[in-house]
Every structure is written in C-alpha cells, then in structure tokens.
Amino acid sequence: MTQIDEYLRSNLDRYLAELSELCAQPSVSARGEGTRECSELVAHLLARHGLSVESYETAGNPVVVGRAAGRSPRTLLCYNHYDVQPPEPLELWTTPPYQPTIRDGALYARGSSDDKGELIARLAALDAVRAAHEGELPCHLLFVTEGEEEIGSPTVGQFVREHRGQLACDGSIWEGGGIGPDGAPELILGARGILAVSLSVRTMSRDAHSGGAELFPSAAWRLLRALSSLKDEDERILIPGFYEHARPPSALDLELIDKLPSFEAVYREVFGVKQFVLGRTGAALNRAVFEPTCNIQGIATGYTGEGDKTIIPAQASAKLDFRLLPDMTPDDILAKLRAHLDRAGFDDVQVEAYGTGMMPFKAPPDSPLVRLTAETGQAVYGKPARIVPIGGGSTPIYAFSGPLGNIPVVTAGVGYWDNRAHAPDEHVRLEDFLNGARHVARIMEGFAGI
Amino acid sequence: MTQIDEYLRSNLDRYLAELSELCAQPSVSARGEGTRECSELVAHLLARHGLSVESYETAGNPVVVGRAAGRSPRTLLCYNHYDVQPPEPLELWTTPPYQPTIRDGALYARGSSDDKGELIARLAALDAVRAAHEGELPCHLLFVTEGEEEIGSPTVGQFVREHRGQLACDGSIWEGGGIGPDGAPELILGARGILAVSLSVRTMSRDAHSGGAELFPSAAWRLLRALSSLKDEDERILIPGFYEHARPPSALDLELIDKLPSFEAVYREVFGVKQFVLGRTGAALNRAVFEPTCNIQGIATGYTGEGDKTIIPAQASAKLDFRLLPDMTPDDILAKLRAHLDRAGFDDVQVEAYGTGMMPFKAPPDSPLVRLTAETGQAVYGKPARIVPIGGGSTPIYAFSGPLGNIPVVTAGVGYWDNRAHAPDEHVRLEDFLNGARHVARIMEGFAGI
C-alpha cells in the first residue's frame, strides 16, 4: 500500500501536467467544440499509459476504449467522459477555463474535476498499481471514455448494446463521487432517470389586445391550467399511473440514506433556501430522493420586456423534467403524460420530448465491490464511507449496467461538495486528486480477489 | 350641409398634406422619441387653423390646448393625442412608418389613424363649419391634445384637475370610433378601467440543479400556484371583493349591446380563434364586455432557450392586467389583490403596479349629445348608428369627464375595423377620413342647439 501512495505522491506533478494538457483542450459537446480533437488526445493519453486503444465512431462523438490485461480473469470497467459543460459565463472565471492554473492547492480549469480529473487520476492509479506489482496488473482493466455525457449520452446506450462482447466486465467504477463536507468518502450507487419535455399550446394565430380578454383564449392561462393538472399542492404528481412502476426504497436503502449527513445548512447558505419543498427538514430531506419529481425548467409566454404590454398571448410553452425512480421508464411516463392531457381535455397542448431521456438505475448496496470500495475508502480517507443508494440527478449508468449483465457499480471520485462542476472556477483540489487516485488504485488491487 | 361636404371634398388634398406633415414627425411616447418636436408641430397646426394655442408642461409630455370662440356659450371639447405606438417591427411595413404614402385609396403611416388622422379631420371640420357660417363658429371649441395616451396617460389626469377652469365644457368628442364592418357608424361611450401589475417571487438566491427538485423550492411552481389562485376555470376571479363595486349593465346597456353585430366570424378569421373564452358565441360575446377580466400578459421564469436545461428556477414573474367595470378602481383592486395573496399564504409573492392604472368610465347612452352624434352619423354614413355602451379597452376618458362635471362623451372617428392601429401598415382610408370630418363638422354645427 505504501508503495502505491509513494509512487503517486512522487509522480503527482507529472499527472497534474497530464491533467493540464487534457483540460487545455476544449471539448464542449453541447456545441461540438473541440470534441474530436479531445477524443484523439484521450486515445493518445490512454496509449501513453500502456493501454491498447480503439476509438469507436458513433452517431455523435467517438467513444475511446482502452484495455490492459491483468493476472486475474476478472475485468474492472472505468467509465469516464471527455466532454465538458460550456464554460460560460467567462467573466466569472478567475483564470480562463482552458488555461489550467494551480493556486491555493487546487487546479482550476473546465473539466478539472468533471470529468477529466477523474480520468487522469485513474490512469495514475493504473500506473501505481502496475509499478507496485512488478509491471503486472492484478485484473483486466477496461477504460471506456465517451464524449457526450454532458448532453445526456444520447448514443452511448446503442454503442454498449452493439459492443456487449468487447465490453464484458465484472464491475464498474462510475464517474462522480468523492468526499462530503466532513471529508468522508461517498459511494453513489445509482441515479434517478429523467424525461425532459416541452409542453406548448397555441390558442390563436396572433396575440390579441388585452381589452378583449373576456373573448380571446389566452395561451398563458391555458398552459397554466395544463401545468396545474400535473401536480397537486402536496407535490403529488397527478398523471394517472405515474407511480405505478416506482420501486420503493428497501429497508437497507433507508438505513443507508438515514446515515447520510444533512445538507440542510449548506443548501440554506449556498442557495438561500428559507423553506424546502413541503417544509422538509433533516432526514426527510435525504429520504426525499426516493420521490420522483416534476420540475418546471422554464416558461415562455407573452411579453416579458420592460414595463407592461396589453396583450393576450397566442402561444405559450414550458420545459419540464421528470426524475424517475428505478423501474419507471421515460417512454412509459411520456405516454402517460400524453394520455393524461388528452383525458383532462388538453389535447391542444403539444408534448415534445427532448431526446429519449435516461433510465433510472440502482446497483445493489450489498455487493462485494461496494464493500471493497467502502473499506478502501475508509483506509484512504480515515473515515467510514457513506453509501448513497441513489443520486437525485441522472447519468447513463443504466446504459452500461443493464446490457452488461447488471454488473455492480460504485463511485470513487476526486470531487468535493464545492468543486464548481458545471460552473465558473471549476477546480480539483490536489489532495482530492491524489486521494482519488489512491482510492481507485486500492480498488484495482483488490478487485481480483472479491 | 352640402356646403360643408363640398368644402371638405375640395380641400381634401390640403388636409392629407397636413396629415402627412404630422405623421412624418415621429412621436413615440414609450421612448420619448420626437414627442417634444411633435407637440410643437401640433401647436403650429392648431394655430394655423385659427385656434389660440397654449402648451402646458406636465411631468411628461406637453398638453397642447387650442381654443376658438363661437356664437353659443356652449363649449365642445375635442380630445386627441399626438403620440403614437412604436413602429416596430419595421420589416412588416410596406412603406416606412414615417414616410406617409397614399396608395389604394388610403394613407399609410404610423399615426395616420390613431390619432393624428382624427386630429386633422377635426381641424378640417372646424374649417368647413367656419366657412359654412360666414367665418363664425356656432359654439366654442376646445382642442385638447395630449402626448402620453399610448403609455396610459399617466399625467393628464392631474393636468385636467389643475386646469378645470380653463377646460370647462359641455360635452366632448373622444378619440376613436369610426365605422363597423358593415359601414355603420359606431359611438363608443365608455371604457373599462385597467390595473396592470407584475407578480414576482424569488425562492432561492440562485437556480438549483433539477436533480434536487424534491428539495429546492421552485419559483416557477410557486408563481404558478399564486396565479392559479386568482381565477377559477369558469373565469371567475377569486380575489375576495373583486366584484364588490362592479356596476352591472342597465337594461338599456344590454339592449344596445344586443344590437351590435357579432365580430365572431372576423375574430375567428383574423385571430384564428377556434373557441372563445368559456365557449361564448354570438350575443354572449358582445355582452361579455360587462365582465371584468384578469389577463396574463406574459410570464418569465427559468430557461427558455434551445433544448432543455436541468434547472430549478430561483425567480419567476408574470405581468397581469385587470380590466375594470365602472365603479371599480385600480387602487381598490390592487389592495384586494395584495390582501388575497397574503391571506392565501403567498406573502412571498411581490406585487408591483405599473403606474396608477386607469379608472373605468361610462357616459349615459341617452344624452342629447349621443342623439346628435347618432343622427348626424346616420346622415353621413347612410346607416343607423350603433351605440357601444362601453369598450373593452381603456382610455383616459375618466380623467376628463369626472373632473369636468360628468360631461357627456361620444366618439366620431376615422377608423374601421382593420386599420392596423398599433400595428405595421397602419392606415386611414381617404373616404373614412373625409366622412369622419363630415361627421364631426355636423356635431360642431348642432352642438349649440342641444
């Protein structure tokens, strides 16, 4: 163990240089900015670390796969992505997003944490494990690095289904994870699914003067009525059958959830929240992740400029997202939403889905891989690991885990709660980067034996 | 009579030239564009027609007053405004808005109908009456031309109250009016009032990730709940006391309303309306003007760009307007709205009024001035006049009529239903312009004797 730690610490500068090299390459999937160049750089980096590399073309950005043979027949898959969120607003960055800069013990750049930092930390772990084992790896390693995670991984599901044979494995380290505010490692074992849609309605061919509001049908009121029909004031979603397939949390899920610290104070401070949804506090806040949600991302209708304008809007639209629990599917919820609107008399309200959505996924919290990750996490961070049965957001775990035979999935990342992923001044703390590599190295070492 | 008509017809080109001169001068009150220059031009024009002119400074744009003495001690006030709506979108004008152009029997320009066309038609009427009466006017005339009608006449009320003495009169011809689709003259005797407000709510200091929608309070949902509390699905406004002071229509009001033609087919065609509010059709559509309204002008919250963005909006706002029946007041409704929101638990929803609103006003439909206007209208247009007890929109009639002793008010305008007032390609048909002048001339002639 000490040998791995010494290797990583003494080579830290080299890995930070690699991370800087990777972060200096823009790769904004939302607008196809530098993604191909970045995929080539990733292929080059994987090869530099002794992996045999293949880049697969998809309908979107290439998936870069690297593999290295080990002594055990068992294979551990490392999922990462090389694409990043847009860096805007640029003026809020202390140093430019693509000029990686180390200050105050952290490396600042777009992607430094999410997810280029994690990729490089895992390559460092691979080197350290190999060095500690006389040039051999204890198990097979498979790096799968996609380029469309930040836009919802629209093509990776098909890629996995078409390459099941090449991607066969026995477990996976997902992206994300890291430590909580108290420094304890956190393992996230799943993600809610998502269905994002627009609801839109047109009641007239053009806006009318509001002096005729007793006559002309308002698209704003019409949309508002349709939205109101979706959820009651107790946050219960009113679409018939919405909860039909929602898998309730197990006793173990609830036990794990209740062990998690409360983020109440942090959220109150960072987001200025006075009252949480339904007045939830303490443990109820954490348990609420086992509720599916219906969120309004935005509403556009009528005049929104300075002052007022006496019009009746002819057109109105809203963007919504639904977060789904395991066994709910975006397709099913989309069909039920449409059926509900039709039944409720809103057949004039158009529904359009943004992409195909993401399926929910929840890995069993009692697998040997979870135990290994928790134990090695405690060894690295000196605190008992916390197990998060499911995260509130959505990631394409389901696209891998299902087709690959319901493999166990864990996280072992380089993040902490304020690393500004997706925001200006994204950074990775050097200590977190090092610890993330130390943690993954221990998982790579132990995976053959579980 | 024939003498007046001959005078107007033979001098038509001169008045169209004056109208072009006036329309070529921009006067957009919404952004203070050319309004002062236009007030000077109006003063110049009034003087050119033999009126003694005074311009009054206000907190906003000047009010230009012109007076001419007549044989009778009775005074007829002509209300007009020299400001116009913004001309945008410019690309939809066939010829530029400030380059008055005559084609197909109409003069096209911003303000050609609303309200510069009416002002010039009335000056033409004055000339014609004077010429027909050996250089004398049968009654005193008072032209009051303000410059802020298109932004809700925020200062004219105070101006009238402060100059009651100078503005003393026995009746008024208001702006607007003209002929219906069948060519019959229409007299509009009043206007609903208006209160325009913004409702806004902030639930967090910044947007949150929608993966936490079970925790973070959404401003979008909060605003939507507040809006829903204002009106039920039967269009009944739920603010306690909202209808308290609403004066119901008289039997004569309903008789007059029921004589009006239905605009149902026109609205269906021009606005593509499939179903009117509450499924109203026929006579019910006309009668509905005797309902106060609660209209959403627009809603702004969250992300409204391309695609979707997984955020929970921290801030949401809506612009509303309420149209008020006689005896309702904007102040009272504003107070009741605030009280309702507080009582319903929406004390976090901010309410801000745009200006002071406008009071409703309804002149009695059986005054001698109404009879005179109807009879002379029939003489000019060859069809019985229709009397509209109240219009759905709002104008500052109340600001004059109340302080000046509840004087009777009528309209005798140059408009027709498709003159594109407020829109691109605003125009006045030359025949309508001429008939409007003929009609007003007859009212000026007959006013001394009623």
Q: Does A391 touch chain B (CB under 8 A)?
A: yes
Count of the separate structural domains present in chain A: 2
- The answer to whether the Cβ–Cβ distance between A393 and B310 falls below 8 Å is yes
| pLDDT for res A48 | 97
Q: At what angle do helices B2-10 and B116-132 cross, to 10 degrees?
A: 130
**CB neighbours of A205 closer than 8 A, spacing ≥ 6?**
A314, B270, B271, B272
Nearest by CB: B271 against A216, A231, A297: A216
Q: Which residue has the tokens 């009117």?
A: B276
Which CA distances in Å does A422 have to A34, A87, A267, B207, B210?
Answer: 17, 8, 17, 13, 13
Contact yes or no for A210 and B295 at CB 8 A: yes
- SS3 at position B359: coil
B423 and B300 in one domain?
no
Contact residues on chain B for A214, CB-CB shorter than 8 A:
235, 277, 280, 288-289, 291, 293, 323, 392
The predicted structure's pLDDT at residue A181: 83
* A274 found inside a domain: no
Contact assignment for A307 to B354 by CB distance below 8 Å: yes
Contacts of A176 in chain B (CB under 8 A): none
Which segments in chain A show pLDDT lower than 50? none
Count CB atoms within 10 A of the CB of residue B342: 12
Interchain CB distance below 8 Å, B307 and A393: no
Measured between alpha carbons, how far is A186 from A190 in angstroms, rounded to an integer? 12
Across the strands, what pairs with A212?
A: none
Q: Please tell me the predicted confidence (pLDDT) of residue A355.
A: 81
Residue in B with minimal Cα distance to A221:
B296
Q: CA of A371: how far to CAs of A226, A387, B7, in Å?
A: 47, 10, 102
Q: How far apart are CA B250 and CA B397, in angstroms?
A: 20
CA distance B334 to B342: 12
Q: Is residue B172 part of a domain?
A: yes
Chain B residues with CB inside 8 Å of A300's CB?
Answer: 299-300, 304
Q: How far is B152 from chain A (nearest CA, A)?
A: 11
CB A114 within 8 A of CB A437: no
Q: At what angle do helices A12-23 and A2-10 cross, to 10 degrees?
A: 60
Interface check for A237 against chain B (CB to CB < 8 A): the answer is no
Smallest Cα–Cα separation from A346: which of A226, A199, A171, A185?
A226
Query: Cα separation of B441 and B449, whole Å?
Result: 14
Distance from the A308 Cα atom to the nearest Cα atom in chain B, whole angstroms: 7
Closest approach of chain A CAs to the CA of B389, in angstroms? Answer: 15
pLDDT of residue A50: 97
Alpha carbon of A18: minimum distance to chain B alpha carbons (Å)? 30
Mean pLDDT, range B104-132, rounded to an integer = 98
Q: How many CB pairs under 8 A join A and B?
A: 231
3-state DSSP assignment of residue B18: helix
Domain assignment present for residue B259? The answer is no
How near does any CA of chain A get to the CA of B293, in Å? 6
Helices B35-48, B116-132: crossing angle, 10 deg rounding: 10
Q: What is the DSSP string of A162-231?
A: HTTTTT--SEEEES--EE-TTS-EEEE-EE-EEEEEEEEEE-SSS-EEGGGTTTSPPHHHHHHHHHHTTB
- Measure the CA–CA gap between A443 and B413, rounded to whole angstroms: 86
Cα dihedral B57→B63→B68→B70 (10° resolution): -120
Contact map slice: B 331-370 vs A, CB within 8 A: 354
Lowest mean pLDDT among A406-410, B108-112, B375-379: A406-410
Nearest residue to B292 (alpha-carbon basis) of B267, B264, B321: B321
What are residue B189's phi and psi, to 5 degrees? Answer: -105, 5
Residue A274's nearest CA partner among B216, B199, B4 is B216
C-alpha closest to that of A292 among A345, A333, A347, A262: A333
Angle of CA points A70, A75, A81, to nearest 5°: 110
Looking at residue A365, the DSSP 8-state letter turns out to be T
A402 shares a domain with A316: no
Q: What is the β-pairing status of strands A75-81 and B190-191?
A: unpaired
All residues at 6 or more sequence positions from A20 whose CB lies less than 8 Å from its CB, including other chains: A100, A107, A109
For residue A297, the distance in angstroms to the closest alpha carbon of chain B comes to 5
CA distances from A89 to A93, B302, B430 (A): 8, 16, 55
Q: How far apart are CA B388 and CA B343, in angstroms?
A: 38
* Pairing status of strand B171-174 against strand B178-179: unpaired
Minimum CA–CA partner of A391 in chain B = B211
Whether residue B178 is found in the same domain as residue B201: no
Residue A281 lies in a domain: no
C-alpha B223/C-alpha B203 separation (Å) is: 10
Structure tokens at A172: 């996976």
The range of the structural domain enclosing residue B429 comes to 2-191+361-449
> Using the beta-carbon criterion (under 8 Å), do A277 and B196 form an inter-chain contact?
no
Nearest by CB to A299, from B295, B301, B391: name it. Answer: B301
Kindly report which listed range (A216-225, B84-93, B122-131) carries the lowest average pLDDT score: B84-93
Please judge whether A218 and B295 are an interchain contact, meaning their C-beta atoms are less than 8 angstroms apart.
Answer: yes
Which helix (H) or strand (E) segment holds residue A266: the answer is helix A264-271
Residue A252 belongs to some domain of the structure: no
Cβ proximity of A85 and A150 under 8 Å: yes
Contact A214 B291 (CB under 8 A): yes
Same domain, B155 and B210: no
Q: Cβ separation of A321 and B302 shorter than 8 Å?
A: no
Give yes or no for a contact between B183 and B418, defined as CB atoms under 8 angstroms apart.
no
With CB atoms and an 8 Å threshold, state whether B393 touches A310: yes
**Kind of pairing between the strands at B293-302 and B427-429:** unpaired
Whether B18 and B122 share a structural domain: yes
Contact A271 B216 (CB under 8 A): yes
Name the residue among B147, B30, B83 with its Cα closest to residue B421. Answer: B83
- Between CA A17 and CA A25 the distance in angstroms is 13
Domain assignment of residue B271, yes or no: no
Query: Which of these three, A333, A353, A373, is where a domain ends?
Result: A353
Q: Are residues B199 and B186 in the same domain?
A: no
- Cα torsion B88, B90, B92, B94: sign: positive
CATH number for the domain harbouring residue A200: 3.30.70.360
Q: What is the pLDDT of residues B46-57, one digit of tens each?
A: 999 999 999 999
Partner-chain contact A221 B214, CB within 8 Å:
no
Contact A211 B196 (CB under 8 A): no
Pairing relationship of beta strands B409-411 and B171-174 according to DSSP bridges: parallel
Pairwise CB contact (< 8 Å): B213 & A299: no
Cα–Cα distance, A205 to B134 (Å, whole number)? 54
Residues B376 and B413 in one domain: yes
Mean pLDDT, all residues of chain A: 95
For chain B positions 2-31, those within 8 Å of chain A (CB to CB) are: 30
Is A256 contained in some domain? no
CATH number at residue B90: 3.40.630.10
Same domain, A161 and A112: yes
Is B321's CB within 8 Å of A301's CB?
no
Distance CA B190, CA B193 (A): 10
Across the interface, do A194 and B310 touch by the CB < 8 Å criterion? Answer: yes
CB A331 within 8 A of CB A223: no
Considering the domain architecture, whether residues B371 and B343 belong to the same structural domain is answered as: no
Query: 3-class DSSP state for residue A304?
Result: coil
Asked if residue A320 and residue A236 are part of one domain, the reply reads yes
Q: CA A276, A86, A63: angle at the middle one, nearest 5?
A: 105
Same domain, yes or no, for A128 and A235? Answer: no
DSSP B318-338: EEEEEEE-TT--HHHHHHHHH
Provide the token pair at B64. 């230009």
Those of residues 34-63 in A touching chain B at CB distance below 8 A are none
Cross-chain residue pair A392–B212, CB shorter than 8 Å: yes
Same domain, A186 and A197: no
On whether any CB of chain A is under 8 Å from the CB of B296, the answer is: yes
The answer, yes or no, to whether residue B1 has pLDDT greater than 60, is no
What is the C-alpha to C-alpha distance for residues A75 and A68, in angstroms, rounded to an integer?
9
> Are the beta carbons of B298 and A298 separated by less than 8 Å?
no
Angle at A115 between CA A145 and CA A94, to 5 degrees: 145
Å between A216 CA and nearest CA of chain B:
6
Residue B116 pLDDT exceeds 80? yes
Instruction: Say whether A198 and B301 touch across the interface (CB within 8 A).
Output: no
The pLDDT value given to residue A1: 53
Q: Sort out which chain A residues have CB atoms less than 8 A from B285's CB and list them.
A: 215
